[in-house]
Amino acid sequence: MTQPAAFTRLTGIEHPVVLGPFGGLSSVELTATVSNGGGLGSYGLYGYDGDRIGATASALRAQTSKPFALNLWLPVPGEVEPEPTAAEFERYLEPLRPYFAELDLPLPARPLRYLPDVDEQIAAALEARPVALSVVYGIPSPALIAASHAAGIVVLGTATTVAEARALQDAGVDAIVASGAEAGGHRVSFLRPPEDSLVGLFALLPQVADAVDLPVVAAGGIADARGVRAAVALGADAVQVGTAFLATDQSAASRAHRLRLRGPDAAHTVLTRALSGRLARGLPNRITAEVTDPAPFPVQNWLTGQFRPTAADRGNAVLSLWAGQSETLASETDAAALLRALAAALD
């Protein structure tokens, strides 16, 4: 099979395999491993302020001289960040009290803000000068695209529908990640609610490839060589693989998370807002079953983020267990070996 060339030329990588960016679960080691192996390592910057973004880019460059991507969450059009009153904050906290008690953690005080400033994140990401800047949840502004191009940075937009892909092309991005509903983690739709944008990759990918004149990266449910070949046959110029890499030893996922990903029940995932307030795909646990009326994003994500790290350290299952629908197809526990197996499918 002939290897697609459009995306590799655009990014300067050897193999058209992209590491899915994990907001909150990215690791320098995993990102560098994929980049050093000839793919495009990606690092998710969700929740990072400018200083931490700069430090992360420096840490990446200390481990790889190869191309890598940084990923940012854009504000969802029309979504206003909530500013709950003290009483509203207490109401949002109430369903989560048992988890704090179970982990012997104090209840958190209401913060001044729930997310870093987006403009600060963008400025730091541009200053870091990755080969590629990928964005989710929206359309990058003309100013962001112009500044990226002036810095020699390729811009990747993420689409969950054909309409989103067309909108991203019209905005001037350089490539489009077509993210099927099978993908693990957050559903990053922005033109319609995510519940109305659940298109499987095999339906989405060929339609996006026909609709745009840009390199298309296929994402969602790709975990082995068969998925890579199928994606290329349907028009992909590259593939993005997330959950299969998340289960490797180089991942920042907790041991409890990786064990669940490698276990027999990894085939069953759910769509839930319980952990973050936004729709996301992961393995079911007590929170996905018990929390039925979560706070809005980003309040819910901040609240659960006050106990999730402790839960992960202690092997407690009350954490985010993000996973896609094809994890049982992944067998490699070493990221470099997984990358080689995926790349070999294109030889």
Quick one: 45 exposed, middle or buried, by C-beta within 10 A (0-12, 13-18, 19+)? buried
Q: What is the Cα–Cα distance from 217 to 176, expressed in whole angstroms?
A: 6
Whether 83 maps to a domain, the answer reads yes
Tokens of 196: 């109305």
CATH code of the domain covering residue 186: 3.20.20.70
* Inside any domain, residue 98: yes
* Beta-bridge partners for 216: 176
- The gap between the terminal CA atoms of the chain, to the nearest Å, is 6
Nearest to 299 by CA among 113, 46, 116, 105: 113
In a domain, 89, yes or no: yes
For the beta sheet containing 216-219, the strands, ordered from the edge strand earlier in sequence to the opposite edge, are: 17-19, 238-241, 216-219, 175-179, 154-159, 132-136, 68-73, 41-44
Residue 283: what residue type? L
Task: Please give the residue range of the domain that contains residue 203.
Answer: 6-344
Q: What does each of the 347 residues of the chain score in pLDDT, given as a tens digit?
A: 445 689 999 999 999 999 999 988 999 999 999 999 999 999 999 999 999 999 999 999 999 999 999 999 999 877 778 899 999 999 999 999 999 999 999 999 999 999 999 999 999 999 999 999 999 999 999 999 999 999 999 999 999 999 999 999 999 999 999 999 999 999 999 999 999 999 999 999 999 999 999 999 999 999 999 999 999 999 999 999 999 999 999 999 999 899 999 988 888 999 999 999 999 999 999 999 999 999 999 999 999 999 999 999 888 778 899 999 998 998 899 999 999 999 999 87
3-state SS of 131-157 is CEEEEECCCCCHHHHHHHHHCCCEEEE
Total domain count, the chain? 1
| 157: its two tokens | 């937009």
110 within some domain: yes
Assigned domain for 1 exists: no
